[in-house]
Amino acid sequence: MALEVDLDWGKIFNIPDFTTTITVVQRHGRRLSTDALQDGVVNPQQIYGGGGNVILHLVYFYAQKKWLRGRIILTMGRYAPGPDFNSSPLQCLVMGQATCSQPRATTLTDGYSSWPGTAWSAVLRVRPTMPTYVTFGAYETSPLKGGTAGTDWGGKHITGVTLALGGGYEPAFGPHKLNGHYKAGMLWDSSPHAYNEVTSDAPTRWRHGQMISYVAFDQMLVRNGKYSDSGIIILGGYTHVTSGISVLSDQAYVGIEDVGQFAGRPRDALGLTWSALRYGPNVKSIWQPEQGTILLDPLAPNRPLLASRESIFDATYNFHLGNGIDIAPDFQYFWRPGGSGRVKNAAVLGMNAHVTL
Task: Give 55's strand partners.
Answer: none
Structural domain of residue 171, as residue ranges? 2-355
Under DSSP, is residue 116 helix (H, G, I), strand (E, B) or coil? coil
How many domains is the chain partitioned into structurally? Answer: 1
Q: Residue 270: is it exposed, middle or buried by C-beta count within 10 angstroms (0-12/13-18/19+)?
A: middle
- When the pLDDT of each residue in the chain is averaged and rounded to a whole number, the result is 90
- Judged against a pLDDT cut of 70, whether residue 208 lies above it is answered with yes
Q: Note the pLDDT of residue 46.
A: 73
Length of the chain: 357
Q: pLDDT per residue over 284-296, tens digit each?
A: 888 765 544 455 5
Q: Note the pLDDT of residue 235.
A: 97
Separation CA 273–CA 216 (nearest Å): 14
Choice among 149-153, 266-270, 297-301, 317-321 with the minimum mean pLDDT: 297-301
CATH of the domain at 80: 2.40.160.180
Reply yes or no: is the peptide bond before residue 304 cis, omega within 30 of 0. Answer: no
Q: pLDDT per residue over 108-122, tens digit each?
A: 899 998 888 899 999
Q: Note the pLDDT of residue 291.
A: 44
The 10 Å CB-count burial string (b at 16+, else e) for 173-183 is: eeeeebbbbbb
Q: pLDDT per residue over 259-311, tens digit each?
A: 999 988 999 999 999 999 999 998 988 876 554 445 555 555 566 788 999 99
Task: Name residues whose C-beta falls within 8 Å of residue 93's C-beta, 6 or more positions apart in sequence.
Answer: 257, 269, 271, 316, 318, 328
Mean pLDDT of 203-230: 94
Give the pairing type, strands 309-322 and 269-279: antiparallel
Work out the pLDDT band at 142, boundaries 50, 70, 90.
confident
Mean pLDDT of 123-150: 93
Separation CA 280–CA 308 (nearest Å): 7
pTM: predicted TM-score of the whole model, two decimal places:
0.90
Separation CA 334–CA 332 (nearest Å): 7
Which of 71, 68, 66 has its CA nearest to residue 129? 71
Choice among 7-21, 95-109, 148-162 with the minimum mean pLDDT: 148-162
User: Are residues 333 and 313 in contact, defined by beta-carbon separation less than 8 angstroms?
Assistant: yes
User: Are residues 48 and 30 in contact, defined by beta-carbon separation less than 8 angstroms?
Assistant: yes
Provide the 8-state DSSP code for 224: -
